[in-house]
Homo-oligomer: A and B are copies of this chain.
Amino acid sequence: MNRPAFGVFYGVGVGPGDPELITRKAERILNEVDWIFLPAGGNNGSFVRRIVEPLGLPTAKFRPVSLCMSRDRSEDTNAYRLAANEIAKELHQGKSVAWLTEGDPLFYSTFLNLYDEIGRDPRIHMEIVPGVTSASAAAARAGVTVARLHERVAVVPAVYGIERLPAYLEEFTTVFLLKVNSVFDQLLAIIPALGPRVRAIYVEQVGTTSERVVTDLQSLRGQKLPYFSLVILRREEHQP
């Protein structure tokens, strides 16, 4: 009789793209919940839906929600509020709901907006199922060490942090630059100034059939790069 009157709300991370990088927990929760909400279309929606395709979940369980994902935060906030209302309605009726997100739910994810909205009702129990991040997956595909022992790591959305790159690489051995597509030419201009000890590797759409790992970043000049792209910068130390 421990069953709460309200359904549980799950933030489920399904990893960066490869369906095999879904955890056993995410798989179980997605099978158990009554509803699976997710963004409809756009960069995130169709992508995350494709990740869970091989799990063979019943189509009727999916509840795509229209989000515009624009830079204009106010429109997004509105869309998330509507989604949160729809989800809350189900939770109030004792239904369990998962919000499906690529990567990890707390790491640059669509889930965070719902987390805030739904978290306002203290009666609702929320559980987060962590996932493999695109950063981890990109490093794995590129074969780049992220951190050993004493090393520090920074994760920086390129749009807001690219000018600080040289300073960051003084303090941090590895820097992940996320969403590099819109500032890539600026990045190309900065890289030579980082010196020969800094390696740069570009990874796009990691874990999908369109995956690409490029070590000669200059060769990408002028190309239109996708939204799911990142650059790993690593300062190589002398080996013992």
Residues of A in contact with B (beta carbons under 8 Å apart): 13, 15, 18-25, 27-28, 73, 77, 104-108, 112, 115-116, 126, 128-133, 136-137, 139-141, 143-157, 159-161, 164, 171-172, 239-240
Contact = CB atoms under 8 A, between A and B. Distances in A.
Contact of A150 (B140, B145, B159): B159
Nearest to A152: B156
25 contacts: A19-B24, A20-B24, A20-B25, A20-B28, A21-B24, A21-B130, A23-B23, A24-B27, A104-B136, A104-B146, A106-B139, A106-B144, A107-B136, A108-B147, A112-B148, A116-B239, A126-B143, A130-B132, A130-B139, A133-B136, A150-B157, A150-B159, A152-B156, A152-B157, A164-B171
A42 B95 CA distance: 44
Q: Which of A126, A131, A141, A156 has the most CB of B within 10 A?
A: A156
Overall SS of chain A's interface: mixed
A72 B13 CA distance: 38
